[in-house]
């Protein structure tokens, strides 16, 4: 039997700043940080999320493990990271439970950078990006989610699809 707390909505703030540099070229956008990511105050913190192993595979590098290694990796490859949602009510980490959304201010993140492409990491990210950010004037695409909940795609499947999109 599930505990009652797992079924209750909780109002959550994003809790940590965007990872962005003046020379960032691609903004990779999640929907909202998972419980694990909020706990560690950094992107894609769930140990089963394939985001960091995927990017490492695409760039033929070792998977960065620490926040410092992940930050350096993103900077080296001109990636910016953030999420479509600044705050919301959510049950755990479930994208399907998201309600009462306050969108992220992506315009201020993109301003002053070289970002020319937003990659939505999964359909929930795309939904909230298109709902609230349609007027940014930056191209965007959606790619299959790296979340462990997206078991339909293996790491190799993700690498093929993401690689074709990022390196075309």
CB-CB contact of 83 with 106 (8 Å): no
**Tally of domains in the chain:** 1
Question: With bands split at pLDDT 50, 70 and 90, how would you rate the model's confidence at 106?
Answer: very high
Q: Is residue 143 part of a domain?
A: yes
- Could you tell me if residue 73 is inside a domain? yes
Q: Taking the model in full, what pTM does it have?
A: 0.93
Q: CA torsion angle for 92, 98, 100, 103 (degrees, to 10)?
A: 100
Range of the domain at 97: 10-166
Residue 3 in any domain: the answer is: no
Is 80 exceeded by the pLDDT of residue 134?
A: no
Strand order in the sheet with 26-30: 79-83, 26-30, 117-121, 139-143
Tracing tokens 């993700």 back to the chain, one arrives at: 158
Closest CA to 15 of 72, 68, 85: 85
Residues 106/82, Cβ–Cβ less than 8 Å: yes
Which pLDDT tens digit goes with each residue over 78-90? Answer: 999 999 999 999 9
Residue 1 lies in a domain: no
Is 85 within a domain?
yes
pLDDT at position 6, please? 55
Please report, in angstroms and rounded to a whole number, the separation of the first and last CA atoms in the chain. 48
Residue 1 has pLDDT above 50, yes or no: no
Q: Looking at residue 117, which CATH number applies to its domain?
A: 3.40.470.10
Residue 80, in any domain of the structure: yes
List pLDDT tens digits, range 15-61: 999 999 999 999 999 999 999 999 999 999 999 999 999 999 999 99
Which of 44, 31, 25 lies closest to 128 in space, CA to CA? 31
């Amino acid at each position: 039997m599930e505990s009652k707390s797992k079924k209750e909505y909780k109002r959550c703030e994003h809790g940590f700043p965007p990872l962005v540099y003046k020379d960032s070229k691609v903004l990779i956008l999640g929907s909202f940080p998972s419980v694990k990511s909020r706990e560690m105050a950094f992107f894609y913190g769930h140990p089963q999320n394939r985001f960091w192993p995927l990017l490492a595979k695409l760039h033929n590098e070792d998977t960065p493990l620490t926040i410092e290694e992940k930050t350096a990796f993103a900077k080296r490859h001109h990636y910016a990271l953030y999420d479509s949602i600044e705050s919301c009510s959510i049950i755990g980490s479930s994208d399907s439970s998201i309600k009462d959304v306050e969108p992220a201010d992506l315009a201020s993140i993109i301003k002053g950078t070289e970002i020319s492409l937003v990659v939505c990491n999964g359909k929930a990210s795309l939904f909230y990006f298109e709902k609230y950010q349609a007027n940014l004037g930056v191209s965007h695409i959606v790619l299959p989610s790296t979340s462990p909940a997206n078991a339909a795609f293996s790491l190799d499947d993700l690498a093929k699809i993401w690689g074709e999109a990022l390196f075309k």
